Amino acid sequence: MAEIPERLVTKPSFLITQLAVHARRIVSDGFAEAGARGYHYRILAALDEFGPASQIDLGRRGGVDRSDVVAAVNELTAQGYVERTPDPDDRRRNVVSLTKAGARQLRRMDQVLDAVQDNLLAPLDSDERATLTALLTRLLAHSRDLPDGPQQ
């Protein structure tokens, strides 16, 4: 392993960034083996939890850029995992719904993601994993409250 300057490895921002790059790679690799992408998981999960939604709402709930939502919904529709129908209240919008095949795909993706999480967090026991998740959740909530923080 390459040596890294101490001033970097003592900064949480550096460590979080490095871990995020690694996590994104192993999640993407895991989903690719299941014939899916991270955007697919976010959209399917939002539909499963909140029910049918507009593409704009799916983007907000899943933290997916509007242009990426359209492409992902197109892919999911072609695979039979979601259905897109005109919104009865506004014909200019579409409502996206989860199909039974989509619910099965989401369960497969849940299993992939669970295995990736176990791999990523292997050095931590269950209490440490819960603590890490709570701390990251709090930091993310704080960053969203800042004027230049990430948007949903």
Q: Please report the pLDDT score of residue 150 as a whole number.
A: 63
Inside any domain, residue 147: no
The answer, yes or no, to whether residue 86 has pLDDT greater than 80, is: yes
The answer, yes or no, to whether residue 149 has pLDDT greater than 60, is: no
Predicted confidence band at 82 (pLDDT cuts at 50, 70, 90)?
very high
User: What CA–CA distance (Å, rounded) separates 57 from 64?
Assistant: 10
The lowest-confidence range among 102-106, 117-121, 140-144 is 140-144
Inside any domain, residue 18: no
In the numeric block, which tokens belong to residue 148? 């230049």
CA-wise closest residue to 79 among 40, 109, 114: 40
What are the two backbone dihedrals, phi and then psi, of residue 151, each rounded to the nearest 5 degrees? -100, 155
Q: Please report the pLDDT score of residue 148 as a whole number.
A: 63
Q: What CATH number is associated with residue 93? A: 1.10.10.10
Please give the radius of gyration of the chain, using alpha carbons only, rounded to the nearest integer.
18
In the numeric block, which tokens belong to residue 19? 């871990």
What are the two backbone dihedrals, phi and then psi, of residue 23, each rounded to the nearest 5 degrees? -60, -45
Inside any domain, residue 5: no
Q: Please report the pLDDT score of residue 17 as a whole number.
A: 94
Inside any domain, residue 152: no
Number of domains the chain is built from: 1
User: What CA–CA distance (Å, rounded) separates 34 from 21?
Assistant: 20
The answer, yes or no, to whether residue 90 has pLDDT greater than 90, is: no
Bridge partners of residue 94, in order along the sequence: 86
CA-wise closest residue to 72 among 90, 92, 49, 45: 45
Instruction: Name the average pLDDT for the chain.
Output: 92
Separation in Å, CA 99 to CA 19, 27, 102, 104: 34, 24, 5, 9
The answer, yes or no, to whether residue 68 has pLDDT greater than 70, is: yes
State pLDDT tens for residues 121-132. Answer: 999 999 999 999
Q: What share of the chain is helix, strand, coil (3-state, %, to 5)?
A: 65, 10, 20
The residue behind tokens 């909530």 is: 141
Q: Please report the pLDDT score of residue 7 as a whole number.
A: 92
Entry pTM? 0.84
Inside any domain, residue 53: yes
Q: Which domain holds residue 91?
A: 30-133
The answer, yes or no, to whether residue 87 has pLDDT greater than 90, is: no
State pLDDT tens for residues 12-57. Answer: 999 999 999 999 999 999 999 888 999 999 999 999 999 999 999 9
